[in-house]
Amino acid sequence: MKITWIGTGVMGQSMAGHFLSAGHELTIFSRTKDKASALIARGAKWAESPKEAAAGAEVVCAMVAYPTDVEEVFLGRYGALQTMQPKTLCIDFTTSSPSLALKIFKKASKNGVFSLDAPVSGGDIGAREARLSIMVGGEPSAFERAMPLFKCLGKTIIYQGEAGSGQHAKMVNQIMIAGTMMGMCEGLLYARKAGLNPERVFSSVGGGAAASWSLSNLYPRILKNDLGPGFYVEHFVKDLQIALNEAKQMKLVLPGLELAEKLYALLKAGSGARLGTQALIKQMETLQRDKGTEA
């Protein structure tokens, strides 16, 4: 199958690589060609724009950073929809706004193109090991057509509903993660202050009701002082702000989400933008120092 892939960041590079491993013909575009060098070395073709990359493709996928990037690569002057032919399948794996997903769906439909919003969860590890959770919005027939491709990337693949529903489901995911991350960091600070061994605490609580993906995958990184990105803080702030905007439109009051966004925004502003989300522990530690109660 001829597949176009747009965006070769932390997760996109691994995801695109799985399509190459499955024997698909891949054309790549990203803003920085160097980030696509490993895929090109494996046989992927390079294109100079999304528009060029999408020409002749059967499927066009994107995994970029921000909603503005999504809009540019699909709807912009050199966007992929400029050259996508009728019956082409368009899949956006980026975490973006539900309203933009619907906008792309409507534009694609006018051109006879089938569009799916399919944000993912699982971070760099899930992308690398092809066990992402994929949340999909769009037409059921397009979802069924895309299923063999989704199976190259993930283990949990669930159709959520009409266009934009995948993005709404991802907002639920991010809201839950935000609360879990705050609780996990506060629990670690408490353990330290109480004189406990954090690794022994993890052994106890990791198998009980407090168990979570973040605890299993990110708590050990914190203990090793590994704050590298599986998912960038700046991208998580973007997601939390989208969720807050959507909640506001639905007249929902979500105080936990509001607090998480403030803490992560402070972390981002304090040179933590390109760290992983587990770097929230640094912001929590800063709060302790500011109040003179360092753990």
Catalytic residues: 170
Note whether 170 and 194 are within 8 A (CB): no
Note whether 101 and 167 are within 8 A (CB): yes
- Residue 276 gets which letter from DSSP? B
Structure tokens at 52: 């060029």
For the chain, report the end-to-end CA distance as a whole number of angstroms. 55
CA distance 189 to 219: 12
Q: Find, among 111, 112, 102, the residue nearest to 137 by Cα.
A: 102
Structure tokens at 183: 């609780």
Note whether 220 and 198 are within 8 A (CB): no
Structure tokens at 218: 């990110």
Which residues, other chains included, contact 229 with Cβ-Cβ below 8 Å and sequence gap of 6+?
Answer: 10, 124, 274, 275, 276
Q: Find, among 85, 94, 162, 176, the residue nearest to 134 by Cα.
A: 94
